[in-house]
Amino acid sequence: MRQLGSHDFFKLVNMSLKRYHSYLIAARFLLLQYGLERFNAFSDIGPDRLYSFFDEHKDLDFNSREFLNAKGNLDYIQQAFRVEGEQIPQLSSEVWIINLYLLSAILRKSYAMRGKEATLVDFYKKFYGEAENLKREKIKPVLNNISNEFIIANSSGTGSKENLEIRKKELLTNFLAQTQGLEILDPNRLFTEYEKIAIYEKGKVAGVARCTVCQRSVMWNEFEADHIRPWSQGGKTIFDNAQLLCRDCNRAKGAKS
């Protein structure tokens, strides 16, 4: 925790880190990473949970997956923002620091993110700006689909598991919907739930989700995420190779494959 709390990433942070605040944030990074590594989910990261976590896992060391991947995530973020100078205005509160870490950790675990540093920075800044404008000025987002639920979760502190899940979902689905050429590290798997949400949102025309083939409106519980080029023919499980289809069109396509 102390080594992570001394990482150069914290030089980017635009808030006071007196009284070892960076150590507290680093402890939360480790707990988030533990949940991601062991359960592919996040737990509460409030003070009580932090104390019990370190008490229960005294065997964590510099060779643990949690430490190595947490450090790797901070290395990646620092590299991504390397041209920004000493401090980043969008890292001015702990909740947004946690948001950036959440997004980076999930993306680096599941996708090939090398070479996507500038894409991450650009997305994060624009998402931050639209979320803050929605919160403060009630200005409707243009680039991102940001709900009032996200704003409430973002304003309710950093510790709740439920709030972390809401924030993770909207950050990830918006990033996936806007990013071209993002390859999944496990190419054999189906689209994840978050990828399906992004595919559904991308398939909307004037606010209505429509089948790419027949153009009829499709409800969330009726749509299917389809490979444009079938996986059986070498089509990759990447967002660029995905389309929204109704069940009838997807089955008709499958019968012809």
9-44 pLDDT tens trace:
999 999 989 888 999 999 999 999 999 988 888 889
CA 40 to mean position of chain CA atoms: 13
Cβ neighbors of 68 (< 8 A, separation 6 or more) are 62
How does DSSP assign 131-152, residue by residue? HHHHHHH-PPPSSS---HHHHH
Using pLDDT thresholds of 50, 70 and 90, give the confidence band for residue 192.
Answer: confident
Query: pLDDT tens across 174-190, in order?
Result: 999 899 888 877 665 67
Question: Crossing angle, helix 161-178 and helix 94-110, to 10 degrees?
Answer: 60
pLDDT digits (tens, 9 = 90+) for 123-157: 999 999 999 999 999 999 999 999 999 999 999 87
Q: What CATH architecture does domain 193-256 belong to?
A: Orthogonal Bundle (1.10)
pTM of the model: 0.78
> What pLDDT is stored for residue 187 in this prediction?
63
The amino acid that residue 10 corresponds to is: F
pLDDT for 256 beyond 70 = no
161's CB contacts (< 8 A; 6+ apart) are: 42, 43, 44
Which residues belong to CATH 1.10.30.50 in the chain? 193-256
- What value, to the nearest 5°, has the Cα angle with vertex 83 and ends 82 and 87? 75
Give the integer Cα–Cα distance in Å for 12 and 63. 26
Is-contact 33 109, C-beta < 8 A? no
- By the 8 A CB rule, do 26 and 1 touch? yes
